[in-house]
Amino acid sequence: MQLTKTEEQLMELLWKQEKAFMKDLLDLFPEPKPATTTVATLLKRMADKGFVGYKEYGKSREYFPLVEKSDYFSKQVNGMIKSFFNNSAAQFASFFTKETNLSATELEELRKIIDKEIQKKK
């Protein structure tokens, strides 16, 4: 399941905070801040999708992520590779390295990461 752009923005705040009340999340939004009802609706939808949980304290709810950031983005990247690159990680890597204007230093860092992963799998 996927989050909308607005839900992702809210989820980013929640991942950084680890747990927060709606008022805290509202305070973290840049100007112009969304309406309280908008954030409440987003949190409800995200809870219904299984991304967010909460504890109730009287009439207040403290929200927390149920999905790890790395897990969510891993699924998103894998979905993108499947949809846009014929499920080929090599095609994705080729596109990524050619189209993102990486410096030689950044490409060297990527090579080290890839080499390290290759050694782990041997």
Q: What is the pLDDT of residue 26?
A: 94
pLDDT in tens, 58-94: 999 999 999 999 999 888 888 888 888 888 888 888 8
Q: What is the pLDDT of residue 79?
A: 85
Domain boundaries, the chain: 5-65, 69-121
**What global pTM score does this model have?**
0.74
Q: Cβ(47)–Cβ(39) under 8 Å?
A: no
Residue 106 CA to residue 112 CA, distance in Å, equals 10
Which three-class secondary structure state does DSSP give residue 53?
strand
**Residue 37 belongs to what H/E stretch?**
helix 36-48
Tell me which residue of 69, 56, 75 sits closest to 14, measured CA to CA.
69
Options 3.40.920.10, 1.10.10.10, 3.40.50.720, 3.30.565.10; CATH of 5-65: 1.10.10.10
Tell me the CA distances in angstroms from 112 to 75, 90, 105, one per residue in order: 24, 17, 11
What confidence category does residue 56 fall into, taking pLDDT thresholds of 50, 70 and 90?
A: very high
State how far Cα 71 lies from the chain centre. 8
pLDDT in tens, 10-38: 999 999 999 999 999 999 998 999 999 99
